[in-house]
């Protein structure tokens, strides 16, 4: 029932559906992930919910086809800015690992990061929600000063008392997120964790991305500039 409602009210309005010649949405939908572009900005919206594999032999949050499409897009896209949308957090990692976010799929997360680093891909931004708090953070590499990836977490638009707001102490900041033979990945917050109802507005300018978090009445709470390279 939940997936039927998603198909009717959300997926039906998204670029996941192709338009037929007469303008009617095609009824077949082979997958929920999709891409779209606006000017020199491109987006890859992942499906990190319905195509998971939890087997120990090949644990993944994205299926094989989707991961390959994402990697090819990262390498081949000429977009100045590349946004990757994921329903659950790419990072920072939480102190309480409930097995839901990318934290629980470290091998696949590392494959994506190593692809970005090895190919020198610039201006990759992960956009996510899920944790009932908003923040921005930067991921760097101990041996590759040219590598930098950012994340924007924007939620919740409306919270309830049953789901407590996130605070900075809910996340792990001291040890590296991942260790490899070529160096370590480590992250840091680039702004405070916002623990109230809010939404984010992104403005991509020539030199930076302006991220403004607003309260439920539209008043700005915090502004963060993410520099572009």
Q: Look at residue 48 and tell me whether its pLDDT is greater than 90.
A: yes
- DSSP for residue 26: P
Tens digit of each residue's pLDDT (9 = 90 or more) over 117-152: 999 999 999 999 989 999 999 999 999 999 999 999
Confidence (pLDDT) at 177? 98
Q: Which two structure tokens, joined as six digits, stand for 77?
A: 């896209």
Q: Using CA atoms, how far apart are residues 163 and 66, in angstroms rounded to an integer?
A: 31
pTM of the shown model: 0.94
Provide the number of structural domains found in the chain: 1
Tell me if 7 is assigned to some domain: no
Domain-embedded: residue 73: yes
Q: Are 34 and 14 in contact (CB under 8 A)?
A: yes
Asked if residue 55 is part of any domain, the answer here is yes
Residue-by-residue DSSP string for 68-136:
HHHHHHHHH---SEEEEE-SS-SSSPBSS--S-SGGG-HHHHHHHHHHHHHTT---EEEEE--SSSBEE
Burial classification of residue 103, based on how many CB atoms lie within 10 Å of its CB (0-12 exposed, 13-18 middle, 19 or more buried): buried
User: By residue range, what is the domain housing residue 121?
Assistant: 31-196
Rounded CA-CA distance 224/187 in Å is 16
Check which CATH number belongs to the domain holding 144 and give it.
Answer: 3.60.21.70
Q: Which of 29, 33, 2 is nearest to 17 (CA)?
A: 29
pLDDT confidence of residue 108: 97
pLDDT (0 to 100) of residue 110:
98
- Phi first, then psi: what are they for 215, rounded to 5°? -80, 180
- Say which residue the tokens 């896209």 belong to: 77
**Phi, psi values for residue 220, rounded to 5°:** -65, 135
Please indicate, yes or no, if residue 14 is contained in any of the structural domains. no
- Per-residue pLDDT tens for 1-35? 998 898 888 888 888 887 777 776 767 788 999 99
pLDDT band at 201 (very low <50, low <70, confident <90, very high): very high
- How high is the pLDDT of residue 11? 86
Q: Say if 149 falls within a structural domain.
A: yes
| In-domain check, residue 1 | no
Q: 211 in a domain, yes or no?
A: no
- 49 located within any domain: yes
């Amino acid at each position: 029932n939940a997936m039927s409602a998603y198909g009717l009210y959300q997926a039906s309005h998204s670029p996941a559906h192709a338009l037929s010649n007469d303008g009617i949405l095609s009824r077949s939908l082979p997958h929920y992930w999709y891409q779209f572009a606006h000017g020199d900005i491109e987006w890859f919206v992942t499906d990190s919910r319905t195509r998971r594999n939890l087997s120990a032999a090949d644990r993944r949050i994205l299926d094989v086809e989707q991961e390959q499409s994402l990697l090819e897009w990262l390498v081949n896209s000429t977009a100045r800015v590349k946004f990757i949308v994921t329903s659950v957090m790419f990072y920072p990692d939480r102190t309480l690992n409930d097995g839901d976010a990318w934290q629980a799929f470290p091998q696949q997360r590392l494959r994506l990061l190593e692809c970005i680093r090895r190919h020198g891909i610039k201006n990759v931004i992960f956009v996510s929600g899920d944790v009932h708090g908003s923040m921005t953070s930067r991921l760097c590499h101990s041996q590759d000063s040219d590598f930098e990836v950012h994340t924007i977490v924007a939620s919740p638009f409306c919270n309830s008392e049953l789901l407590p707001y996130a605070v900075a102490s809910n996340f792990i900041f001291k040890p590296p997120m991942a260790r490899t033979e070529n160096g370590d990945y480590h992250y840091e917050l680039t702004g405070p964790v916002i623990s109230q109802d809010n939404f984010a507005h992104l403005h991509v300018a020539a030199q930076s991305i302006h991220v403004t978090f607003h309260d439920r009445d539209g008043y700005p709470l915090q502004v963060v500039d993410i520099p572009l390279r």
